[in-house]
A = this chain, B = another copy of it.
């Protein structure tokens, strides 16, 4: 599993001492002595069902991980950026496909050796654990998106996600580079390319975003995007919430 990613991506520390060093050991440094491998855009790193022999660290570019239903429908479950790990799990086989979206550079590490390195380092362990938890958190957000948001809300949420990844620190970038195609976006957002296209056109028409080339979008009305993304509530709902049951009783 693991294809951890998301918010707090630590900067890749350049390899100082050998693996034994215990000081500023970061997850990325486990890979630092491995050679860089390149994958062309569109090429697979591995397929679902392959023996899970390796863990990869993304150094440059973007990956997609996805599953295919028996009739060919594809669901992309995540996009991976530099600093993310691919293929971490305790299973014998990979549970999903991994492909390069753009030209990609990765480092490769044998799964068993990786497990050992993690297990032996009381410094690395919590880092990996935290990554897993972050990944789980964003998987849940994605489930919320897929189960309850409409097309426009999905697109806005997606743009915000990309905007977050664009900039270091925590403030969003207003200029978004979209490395993937409309088909990738559709298969990630549970829509069709046509709906993705129409929705983006509509956002442009209302002056909420502008476009300069298919893969470059600028946010013009951030507040509107934020609202349309339908962020999960902090405290009190705007409209009266649905009622769920009145049986709620305190624990004994």
Instruction: Please give the residue numbers on chain A whose beta carbons come within 8 Å of chain B beta carbons, in ascending order.
Output: 1-2, 37-44, 48-49, 67-75, 77, 88-91, 95-96, 99, 119, 122, 125-126, 129-130, 132-133, 135-137, 139-144, 146-149, 183, 187-190, 230-235, 237-242, 244-245, 247-252
Contact = CB atoms under 8 A, between A and B. Distances in A.
A157 B140 CA distance: 19
A243 to B, nearest CB: 9
A67 B95 CA distance: 27
Nearest to A141: B67
15 contacts: A1-B140, A2-B133, A38-B251, A40-B248, A41-B247, A42-B244, A42-B245, A42-B249, A43-B248, A48-B232, A69-B233, A75-B147, A91-B137, A95-B137, A147-B189
Contact of A72 (B40, B130, B183, B242): B242
B40 A234 contact: no
B90 A42 contact: no
Given A41-B247, A139-B140, A244-B74, A147 B146 contact: yes
Given A70-B231, A73-B242, A90-B130, 8 more contacts: A67-B144, A68-B237, A71-B230, A71-B239, A119-B122, A135-B136, A139-B140, A148-B187
